[in-house]
Chains A and B, each alone.
Chain A
Amino acid sequence: MTDNRWASTMRRLAAGFMLVAAMLAGAPWAEAQSPTEIVVSGAAFQPTPIAVLPFETGSPALAQAAADMVGVIEADLERSGLFRIIPRTAFISRQVAFDSLPVFADWRAINADAMVTGRVMQATDGRLTVQFRVFDTDAQQQIEGLQLLADPGDWRRVAHKVADGVYAKLTGEGPYFDSRVVFVDETGPKGDRRKRLAIMDQDGANLRYLPGAEGLVLTPRFAPNDQSILYISYESGTPQVYLLNLDTGQRERLGSFPGMTFAPRFSPDGSQVVMSLSQEGNTDLYAMRLADRQVRRLTNSPSIETSASFSPDGSQIVFESDRGGSQQLYVMPSSGGPAQRISFGQGNYGTPVWSPRGDTIAFTKILGGRFHIGVMRTDGTDERLLSSSFLDEGPTFSPNGRVIAFFRESPGQQGRAQLMSIDITGRNLRVVPTPNAASDPAWSPVRK
Chain B
Amino acid sequence: MRKGATISGAMHLGILALVLFGVDIFADRDPYPLAVTEVELVDGANFDAAVSTAPMVRNEGPAELSPQSDTDPTAPEAVKPDVAVSPPPMPRLAVAERPDESPPNLSALQIPPPPTDVPTEAPRPSIAEIPSPDPLRHQAPEPESPPATEPLPALASAPSISPAPKPVVAPEAEPVAAATPEPVPDETKDKPETEATTQAEPDAPIAAAPQEARLPVAKPADLAAAAQASSAPKPAAASEEPKNKPDETEQAAAEAKPASKAAEPQKPAGGSSAAFAAALSIGEKDALRLGIKRYFVFNGNRSDRSLQVTVEIQLGQDAKIIGQPRLVRGSGGDAATQDALFRAGHRALRRAENAGEFNRLPRDKYASWQIIHVTFTPEEIGFQS
Does any Cβ of B come within 8 Å of A125's Cβ?
A: yes
Within the complex, which residue of B152, B214, B279, B340 is in contact with A172, where a contact is CB–CB below 8 Å?
A: B340
Let me know if A141 and B211 touch, CB within 8 A. no
Decide if the interface of chain B is mainly helix, strand, loop or mixed: loop
Among B280-305, those with CB < 8 Å from A are: 280, 285, 288-289, 292-293, 296-304
Q: How far is the CB of A110 from chain B (nearest CB, A)?
A: 13
Which residues on A sit within 8 Å (CB–CB) of B121? Answer: 121, 123-125, 129, 149
Which residues on A sit within 8 Å (CB–CB) of B144? Answer: 204-205, 207, 433, 435
Let me know if B297 and A100 touch, CB within 8 A. no
Q: How far is the CB of A115 from chain B (nearest CB, A)?
A: 12
Let me know if A152 and B378 touch, CB within 8 A. no
Cα A136 to Cα B147 in complex, Å, equals 42
Which residues on B sit within 8 Å (CB–CB) of A204? Answer: 144
Cα A99 to Cα B214 in complex, Å, equals 15
Within the complex, which residue of B142, B161, B201, B374 is in contact with A206, where a contact is CB–CB below 8 Å?
A: B142
Let me know if A172 and B336 touch, CB within 8 A. yes
Does any Cβ of A come within 8 Å of B135's Cβ?
A: yes
Let me know if B146 and A68 touch, CB within 8 A. no
Among B340-385, those with CB < 8 Å from A are: 340-341, 343-348, 350-351, 367-382, 384-385
Within the complex, which residue of B82, B217, B276, B293 is in contact with A40, where a contact is CB–CB below 8 Å?
A: B293
Which residues on A sit within 8 Å (CB–CB) of B139? Answer: 152-153, 155
Let me know if A99 and B379 touch, CB within 8 A. no
| Interface range for A | 35 or more
Q: Which residue of A lies closest to B207 (CB)?
A: A149
Cα A246 to Cα B157 in complex, Å, equals 10
Does any Cβ of A come within 8 Å of B49's Cβ?
A: no
Which residues on B sit within 8 Å (CB–CB) of A65? Answer: 136, 138
Let me know if B240 and A95 touch, CB within 8 A. yes
Cα A157 to Cα B301 in complex, Å, equals 25
Let me know if B98 and A141 touch, CB within 8 A. yes
Which residues on A sit within 8 Å (CB–CB) of B21? Answer: 2, 5
Which residues on B sit within 8 Å (CB–CB) of A142? Answer: 103-104, 106, 217-218
Let me know if A40 and B380 touch, CB within 8 A. no
Does any Cβ of B come within 8 Å of A79's Cβ?
A: no
Does any Cβ of B come within 8 Å of A326's Cβ?
A: no
Let me know if B217 and A141 touch, CB within 8 A. yes
Does any Cβ of A come within 8 Å of B212's Cβ?
A: yes
Within the complex, which residue of A42, A122, A140, A172 is in contact with B341, where a contact is CB–CB below 8 Å?
A: A172
Let me know if B213 and A147 touch, CB within 8 A. yes
Q: Which residue of A lies closest to B205 (CB)?
A: A125
Does any Cβ of A come within 8 Å of B322's Cβ?
A: no
Does any Cβ of A come within 8 Å of B251's Cβ?
A: yes
Among B200-219, those with CB < 8 Å from A are: 201-202, 206, 208-218
Let me know if B277 and A32 touch, CB within 8 A. yes
Let me know if A247 and B156 touch, CB within 8 A. yes
Let me know if A448 and B161 touch, CB within 8 A. yes
Among B176-234, those with CB < 8 Å from A are: 187, 201-202, 206, 208-218, 222-223, 226, 230
Let me know if B106 and A58 touch, CB within 8 A. no
Cα A129 to Cα B136 in complex, Å, equals 11
Let me know if B211 and A143 touch, CB within 8 A. no
> Which segment of B39-47, B55-63, B126-134 sits at the interface?
B126-134
> Which segment of A101-109, A284-292, A300-308, A404-412 sits at the interface?
A101-109
Cα A335 to Cα B183 in complex, Å, equals 71
Cα A149 to Cα B339 in complex, Å, equals 27
Q: How far is the CB of A44 from chain B (nearest CB, A)?
A: 5
Which residues on B sit within 8 Å (CB–CB) of A29? Answer: 275-276, 367
Q: Which residue of B lies closest to A68 (CB)?
A: B141
Cα A4 to Cα B20 in complex, Å, equals 11
Within the complex, which residue of B150, B214, B333 is in contact with A145, where a contact is CB–CB below 8 Å?
A: B214
Contact flag A43-B296 (CB < 8 Å), given A28-B277, A141-B100, A205-B142: yes
Cα A402 to Cα B336 in complex, Å, equals 14
Contact flag A124-B372 (CB < 8 Å), given A1-B22, A149-B120: no
Let me know if B288 and A139 touch, CB within 8 A. no
Let me know if B158 and A38 touch, CB within 8 A. no
Contact flag A141-B375 (CB < 8 Å), given A36-B369, A129-B121, A150-B211: no
Contact with A along B69-95 (1 / 0, CB 8 A): 000000000000010110000000000
Does any Cβ of B come within 8 Å of A430's Cβ?
A: no
Q: Which residue of B lies closest to A139 (CB)?
A: B346
Q: How far is the CB of B159 from chain A (nearest CB, A)?
A: 6
Cα A107 to Cα B16 in complex, Å, equals 78
Within the complex, which residue of B131, B156, B297 is in contact with A45, where a contact is CB–CB below 8 Å?
A: B297
Which residues on A sit within 8 Å (CB–CB) of B107? Answer: 99-101
Within the complex, which residue of A38, A56, A97, A210 is in contact with B152, where a contact is CB–CB below 8 Å?
A: A210
Cα A155 to Cα B210 in complex, Å, equals 9
Which residues on A sit within 8 Å (CB–CB) of B100? Answer: 139, 141
Within the complex, which residue of A37, A209, A249 is in contact with B373, where a contact is CB–CB below 8 Å?
A: A37
Does any Cβ of B come within 8 Å of A173's Cβ?
A: yes
Contact flag A40-B299 (CB < 8 Å), given A29-B275, A227-B158, A447-B158: no
Cα A170 to Cα B355 in complex, Å, equals 23
Let me know if B372 and A40 touch, CB within 8 A. no
Contact flag A139-B343 (CB < 8 Å), given A157-B159, A435-B146: yes
Does any Cβ of A come within 8 Å of B145's Cβ?
A: yes
Within the complex, which residue of A25, A151, A155, A209 is in contact with B208, where a contact is CB–CB below 8 Å?
A: A151
Cα A146 to Cα B368 in complex, Å, equals 43
Let me know if B279 and A38 touch, CB within 8 A. no
> Which segment of B3-11, B28-36, B242-250, B256-264 sits at the interface?
B242-250
Which residues on B sit within 8 Å (CB–CB) of A169? Answer: 336, 340
Which residues on A sit within 8 Å (CB–CB) of B164? Answer: 146
Cα A359 to Cα B131 in complex, Å, equals 50
Does any Cβ of A come within 8 Å of B155's Cβ?
A: yes
Q: Which residue of A lies closest to B325 (CB)?
A: A139
Q: How far is the CB of A414 from chain B (nearest CB, A)?
A: 21
Cα A45 to Cα B302 in complex, Å, equals 11
Does any Cβ of B come within 8 Å of A211's Cβ?
A: yes
Q: Which residue of A lies closest to B372 (CB)?
A: A36
Does any Cβ of A come within 8 Å of B96's Cβ?
A: no
Does any Cβ of B come within 8 Å of A413's Cβ?
A: no
Let me know if A209 and B351 touch, CB within 8 A. no
Closest A-B pairs by Cβ, 9 of them:
A145-B215, A172-B340, A5-B22, A150-B210, A122-B133, A42-B380, A32-B367, A43-B298, A172-B337
Known A93-B242, A141-B104, A435-B146; further 13 A-B contacts with Cβ < 8 A: A32-B367, A40-B374, A41-B382, A43-B296, A43-B376, A68-B138, A99-B107, A99-B127, A101-B104, A101-B107, A104-B103, A151-B208, A247-B155
In the complex, 8 of the A-B residue pairs with CB atoms within 8 angstroms, ordered by the A residue number, are A9-B20, A38-B285, A39-B375, A58-B133, A143-B343, A205-B142, A208-B150, A246-B158
